[in-house]
Amino acid sequence: MKISYNLLKKFVDFELSPKDLASLLTSIGIEASVISQGYDWANVVTAKVLDVQKHPSANKLSLCKVSDGAKEYSIVCGAKNIASGQTVPLAKIGAVLPGNFEIKKPKIRGVESEGMICSEKELGLKEESQGIFVLDDKTKIGLPLEDVLDGIDSILEIEITTNRGDCLSHLGIAREIGAKLRKFVSIAKVKVLKKLPLLNGIEIESNLCKRYIGSVISNVKVGPSPKWLTDILAKSAIRSVNNIVDITNFVMIELGQPLHAFDLNKISSKNIVVREANESEKITALDAKEYKLEPGMLVISDKQKPIAIAGVMGGEFSGVDEKTEKIFLESAIFDADSVRKTSKKLNLSSDSSYRFERGLGWDITELALWRAANLITEIAGGKQESIEDLHTVKYEKTKVSLRIGRVSKILGYSVEENEISEILKFLGIDLQPKDEVIVCTIPSWRNDIKIEVDLIEEIARIKGYDAIPTLKTHTDYSYTPNNSYLTVIVEEFRTKLNDLGFSETLNCSFLEINELEKFGLKYYYKIANPISKENEVLRSSLLPGLFKNLMLNISQCAETVTLFEHGKVFDNIGEKKVFAAIMYGKVWHEWWKWTQQKVNHSFDFYFGGGIINNILPSQEFMIVENLAPSSYFHIGKSASLFFRGKVVGQFGILKPSLTTDIKDEVFYFEMDLDPVENMCVKKNNFYKAYSKFPVVKRDISVTADKFLQFAKIEKVIKNVMKSGGILKEYSLFSVYNDESKLGEGKVSYSFRLSYKNDDKTLSDKEVNNDVSVLLNKLDSQLGVKLRQ
């Protein structure tokens, strides 16, 4: 909302500059900033030009003697229109002009200037101006410039929190200033006539209308508004229509009460009914659009049809125009919730509905009507014929009890009872102290004050939050960043993957349906009211997001893309936490010491799986055969992750049909975090003494059927390890599959076996025996033979 600084001054007397006023308002909870600066001219005074000489070393400059009555200044001036005898604005050294332009003491072509004679542009009064600003000859000298200029105003942009509908006017803001500065607010006196019933009457048929005041003014002359009126409306960004409409708008920004004027001659039988709309009733509003109404929406109607949507917008048909002679002026209170619902449903809001939604003060309604009627008869002529005031409720002011002791109980610091009373009094609250309790009668406009703590807030707010003391730090802990937001396992994953060059990502939780369907994924939660297609459904997997990130980075020429993410996904079971990683491209970058072969290695099933195997925080995790691969995996290149009897994740290569646009395979891993969330990452195995005797190594190569699952060979080796006790480790160091040399359908595996005895040095014979035992078992159980 835009507020005029000058108009505020008509309600309350204060001595603050616009900037200081904005700070004051901000400090009491009304965020304000100066958007159009009338003036901020400390150190700019009126002065007389005594003498003008040519500058000794510059043709276009003059050297002037200027006096502010107390002192003479020598000033260098470049304006052509300067002449002795003129009264001019002088910015003295130290003055700061708009645009943060500070007046210093420069030497201009060798001559010092003790200030600057200003143009209107330099003062921020006009966008463009020619020469210096010459003031009226009769202007007194030595006065601050702002004191001699009329009609200069500053505009403040103000943000009002949703609870403070009472501040949506100049009067409302003035009340706040008054409360802070302990000053009373004065409202222009209005001429009040005796209330006379309307000829054809007003009928209120719905309780959604709380109060309705109507008045008929006849013989008005509709025409353009006077300049002062259009000026003030312009400052509040309201378009001028005609004098009648402008006055209703002016009273709204002045006092906060939305008003509406109807052309009475356009109202059939000149009868006003306030009622709920009928099924499928329609109205064309002042914005020239047609709105379909329904029961629950309050309308103002004549005998036949609606003439206004109550509190939201008037009808086009019944509006005031140049031909209007007789008007019906409305000032009313409509139910806030009803106006809000109507405005939402019709998707139509206005300055009026904005104020009704936030609630209006009972007393202002009448004041505003008189104020507008006075202005109309004054500006547009005419005579106020009749006025009628109806209500459906009996209004009573709210009373709230304040226990003095409760103030410090909530705030933690004590406020003197005198100060409490003073603050509340200047907020317009009537006080009846009784023992330790003050019974507070809340003014009609403060519908936000309902309970005791609301009063306590008022006290703290007006006293100022700066006045709240802080205790000496109540903790002695020194700050050490501590990871506590993420679970232990996520923290383990992310640190390990970070070490391996992965980047953590964050994706939006929404997707388009086809982004999921592309991967054969389903959606389980659809957004009922998305504002764009991007927000259609909630993700059921992290894959679509990570895949999108992958493709983006590939398009930006990234050779390696390794990303991970953790977050919520939403599937048939509900909301669950998952962890996922995607890997693509070169494992290693080129390096001058690497061979070409090493450089060209890219992420594949075994490499990706190796990384997953490496980051698993406990031996309780097992990589097993993937019996039910997700729809997006390559059916032959995936595995699943097993934890305490359950599959918790899967990894593998994405289906080739998903990655046709890119060169390499894409490795993806996703696991559920919920089943492992509370697991302890620290291993509780006891320490085992290690053997001090040397290790004996043996390499063996065996030939196996190529379809024999490798895990079966491993199982035989592990059994030998268990029974014999001297085979401690094995590793697969080579796989050879040249069937022309090995025989059709064969593959060869080379193992490195490590033997050790905990108590003594092993002899060759013992090791050889154990190797034979292993080979025999491989042969007898699996037909795996030593390679010849």
Assess 570 for contact with other proteins (CB under 8 A): yes
- Cβ 639 to other proteins, closest distance in Å? 22
- Cβ 420 to other proteins, closest distance in Å? 14
Residues 690-729 that bind other proteins (CB under 8 A): none
Range in contact with other proteins (rule: CB under 8 A) among 43-51, 107-115, 547-555, 623-631: 547-555
With CB under 8 A as the contact rule, the residue among 567, 736, 742, 750 that binds other proteins is: 567
Whole-number Cα distances in Å, 22 to 28, 106, 174, 256 = 10, 33, 12, 20
Cβ proximity to other proteins: between 295 and 530 the closer is: 530
Assess 674 for contact with other proteins (CB under 8 A): no
Query: The sheet that has 430-434: what strands, in order across it?
Result: 399-403, 437-441, 430-434
Assess 410 for contact with other proteins (CB under 8 A): yes
With CB under 8 A as the contact rule, the residue among 48, 55, 92, 164 that binds other proteins is: 164
| Cα gap 561→685, rounded to integer Å | 36
Assess 21 for contact with other proteins (CB under 8 A): no
Assess 509 for contact with other proteins (CB under 8 A): yes
Which pair of tokens denotes residue 275? 């009622």
Coil/strand/helix, residue 12: coil
Q: Are the CB atoms for 571 and 546 separated by under 8 Å?
A: no
- Cβ 533 to other proteins, closest distance in Å? 12
Cβ proximity to other proteins: between 458 and 770 the closer is: 458
Assess 534 for contact with other proteins (CB under 8 A): yes
- Cβ 469 to other proteins, closest distance in Å? 6
| Residue 328 CA neighbour count, 13 Å, CB half | 31
Assess 156 for contact with other proteins (CB under 8 A): no
User: Which residues make beta-bridge pairs with 31?
Assistant: 159
- Cβ 262 to other proteins, closest distance in Å? 28
With CB under 8 A as the contact rule, the residue among 110, 197, 295, 530 that binds other proteins is: 530
With CB under 8 A as the contact rule, the residue among 59, 269, 280, 532 that binds other proteins is: 532
Q: Are the CB atoms for 158 and 3 separated by under 8 Å?
A: yes
Which pair of tokens denotes residue 48? 């007389």
The residue among 89, 107, 91, 109 whose CA lies nearest residue 99 is: 91
**Residue type for position 433:** P
Q: What are phi and psi of 217, to 5 degrees?
A: -120, 125
| Cα gap 255→249, rounded to integer Å | 10
With CB under 8 A as the contact rule, the residue among 59, 591, 682, 689 that binds other proteins is: 591
Q: At what angle do helices 764-782 and 710-724 cross, to 10 degrees?
A: 140
- Cβ 567 to other proteins, closest distance in Å? 7
Q: What are phi and psi of 308, to 5 degrees?
A: -165, 150
Q: What are phi and psi of 417, to 5 degrees?
A: -60, -35
Residues 274-293 that bind other proteins (CB under 8 A): none
Assess 416 for contact with other proteins (CB under 8 A): no
Assess 506 for contact with other proteins (CB under 8 A): yes
Residues 380-409 that bind other proteins (CB under 8 A): 408-409
Three-state SS string over 13-55 comes to CCCCCHHHHHHHHHHCCCEEEEEECCCCCCCEEEEEEEEEEEE
- Cβ 651 to other proteins, closest distance in Å? 18
Cβ proximity to other proteins: between 233 and 407 the closer is: 407
Q: Are the CB atoms for 419 and 258 separated by under 8 Å?
A: no
Q: What is the DSSP string of 343-366?
A: HHHHT---HHHHHHHT---HHHHH
By CB atoms closer than 10 A (0-12, 13-18, 19+), residue 528 is exposed
With CB under 8 A as the contact rule, the residue among 53, 81, 161, 268 that binds other proteins is: 161
Residues 28-57 that bind other proteins (CB under 8 A): 28-29, 31, 33
**Residue type for position 151:** G
- Cβ 542 to other proteins, closest distance in Å? 12
Assess 589 for contact with other proteins (CB under 8 A): yes
Assess 499 for contact with other proteins (CB under 8 A): yes
Cβ proximity to other proteins: between 121 and 341 the closer is: 341
Q: Are the CB atoms for 593 and 475 separated by under 8 Å?
A: no
Size of the site for other proteins (CB under 8 A): 95
| Cα gap 566→571, rounded to integer Å | 15
Assess 525 for contact with other proteins (CB under 8 A): yes
| Torsion over CA: 241, 246, 248, 254 (sign) | positive
Assess 568 for contact with other proteins (CB under 8 A): yes
Assess 210 for contact with other proteins (CB under 8 A): no
Range in contact with other proteins (rule: CB under 8 A) among 74-82, 279-287, 555-563, 760-768: 555-563
E strand segments, 187-295: 202-204, 209-218, 259-263, 272-276, 282-284, 290-292
Cβ proximity to other proteins: between 3 and 145 the closer is: 3
With CB under 8 A as the contact rule, the residue among 130, 432, 503, 614 that binds other proteins is: 503
Range in contact with other proteins (rule: CB under 8 A) among 61-69, 374-382, 527-535, 711-719: 527-535
Assess 552 for contact with other proteins (CB under 8 A): yes
Cβ proximity to other proteins: between 545 and 629 the closer is: 545
Residues 299-358 that bind other proteins (CB under 8 A): 336-337, 340-341, 357-358
CB atoms within 10 A of CB 130: 11
Assess 574 for contact with other proteins (CB under 8 A): yes
The residue among 489, 539, 483 whose CA lies nearest residue 509 is: 539
Residues 439-498 that bind other proteins (CB under 8 A): 451, 453-454, 456-457, 460-461, 465-466, 468-471, 473-475, 477-486, 494, 497-498
| Cα gap 451→455, rounded to integer Å | 7
Cβ proximity to other proteins: between 469 and 645 the closer is: 469
With CB under 8 A as the contact rule, the residue among 163, 200, 265, 401 that binds other proteins is: 163
Residues 70-109 that bind other proteins (CB under 8 A): none
- Cβ 556 to other proteins, closest distance in Å? 6
Coil/strand/helix, residue 750: strand
Assess 531 for contact with other proteins (CB under 8 A): yes
Chain centroid to Cα 520, Å, comes to 35
Assess 188 for contact with other proteins (CB under 8 A): no
- Cβ 564 to other proteins, closest distance in Å? 9
**Residue type for position 50:** L
| Cα gap 257→360, rounded to integer Å | 7
